[in-house]
Structure 1
Amino acid sequence: MTRIAALSLDQAPAASRTALEGIQKGLGFIPNAFRTLAHSPAVLNGYLGLAQALGKTSLSAAEREVVALAASQVNGCDYCLAAHAFFAGKAGLSDEAISQARSGTLSAVAALARQVTESRGQLTDQQIAAARDSGIDEGKIVEVVAQVTLLTLTNYLNNIAITDIDFPPAAR
């Protein structure tokens, strides 16, 4: 049972409604994760602002989904696993690639995202060197960390809220 209600558009604070309407226009519906974030207009708008900014990094849409899947797997967020498996498929990842992203074995970006999440950012010199050796430069390292941070917010909130999954569940 959900512990923090996902608000309808009418229930949401006035300062959250414009953002929710934008999400509905863009996706065709308002996912429960955003309806839960809507309890705090500052958090909802902060999340959306960071997500928009991270959409302009050197990470491709597929790589952003890879990071989301790796972090969500480590953080045990079934909601985000379902949502990002859905979006990863739209970004061109196969079911096998989605599974490999979750395990951190798909690519250097997946491995780095999983390591950052597992270690809570306490990477070893060897892990940083391995990322660099695989072609990830300092800018992309910073971008992966930022993407993990964005996902950690929704992973933790959805785990605490027990947000009802409104995407097709991810295969286990």
Structure 2
Amino acid sequence: MTDFTFHTPESAPEDARDVLEKAQAQMGFVPGLYAGLANAPAALDAYLAVSDYFSRTSLSPEEQQVVLLAASVVNGCDFCVAAHSMIAKQMAGVAEPVVAALRDGGQPQDPKLAALAEFTRAVVSERGWVREHPAFRAFLDAGYRPEQALEVILGVAQKTLSNYANHLLQTPLDSALESERWSR
């Protein structure tokens, strides 16, 4: 069995040090995902780039967190569900009942967010083969535009990278996320 190093700014490969130093300065710690991805600096850079692009979509911060949480639950990523539960509530202003519903694999009460969550789950579980899926029609009927389906796919790509990396790395939960611990 291969063990991965969870790097600090001092131990990281040269190409990952700046990212870890910035994370340490901004958050007071290096998130486990970053520390693990630092083993492959290109993977860390790609994750950050995709995250940045997703943050620039037309989806609101709340909707972005719905996508990221729904995808992480389907993929069974303990680390990302905890992280995005905290981010959703503390940074994106997502209501606790919405986060709780998503963590349970359920539907938020808001019909538009419910359609978004269900479409995201379909994208993940159907590996993108959703053109004829009822969740795509419900997504459009809820008021989303066709191009926003591509933005959902971008969010799913972000979470696929981090969820799969966390599975491989067996990323330990950061103590800052303990209150949001989740298990598949």
Shorter-chain TM-score above 0.5: yes
Query: For 1:46-71, what per-residue CA distance to the aligned partner results, in whole angstroms no more than 9, with x for missing partners?
Result: 11112112111111222111111111
SS in 1 for 2:86: helix
Size of the aligned set, in residue pairs, is 172
Q: How does 1:75-94 map to 2 (within 5 A)?
A: 75-90=75-90, 91-94=92-95
Structure 1 residue aligned with 2:44:
44
- Paired letter, 2:165: L
CA distance in 2, matches of 1:65, 1:94: 11
Structure 2 residue aligned with 1:164:
172
SS in 1 for 2:128: coil
CA distance in 2, matches of 1:123, 1:40: 32
Compute the displacement of 1:141 (Å). 0.7
1:171 to 1:12, Cα distance in 2 relative to 1, 3 A: closer
- In angstroms, what is the RMSD of aligned CA positions? 1.9
Structure 2 residue aligned with 1:62:
62
Q: How does 1:146-161 map to 2 (within 5 A)?
A: 146-161=154-169
Query: For 1:18-44, what per-residue CA distance to the aligned partner results, in whole angstroms no more than 9, with x for missing partners?
Result: 111222233222100001011111111
CA distance in 1, matches of 2:27, 2:149: 29
1:54 to 1:124, Cα distance in 2 relative to 1, 3 A: closer
Q: How does 1:92-131 map to 2 (within 5 A)?
A: 92-102=93-103, 103=105, 105-106=107-108, 107=113, 108-125=115-132, 126-131=134-139
2:136 pairs with 1:135: no
CA distance in 1, matches of 2:83, 2:89: 10
Structure 2 residue aligned with 1:144:
152
Percent identity of the aligned residues?
Answer: 36
CA distance in 2, matches of 1:124, 1:3: 40
Q: Which has the bigger relative contact order, CA under 8 A and spacing at least 6?
A: 1
CA distance in 2, matches of 1:10, 1:54: 29
Instruction: Confirm or deny: 8 A CA contact 1:70 1:104 kept in the other structure.
Output: no
Please report the TM-score for the alignment, with normalisation by the length of structure 2.
Answer: 0.86
Q: Which sections of structure 1, spanning at least 5 residues, go unmatched?
A: none
Q: Which sections of structure 2, spanning at least 5 residues, go unmatched?
A: none
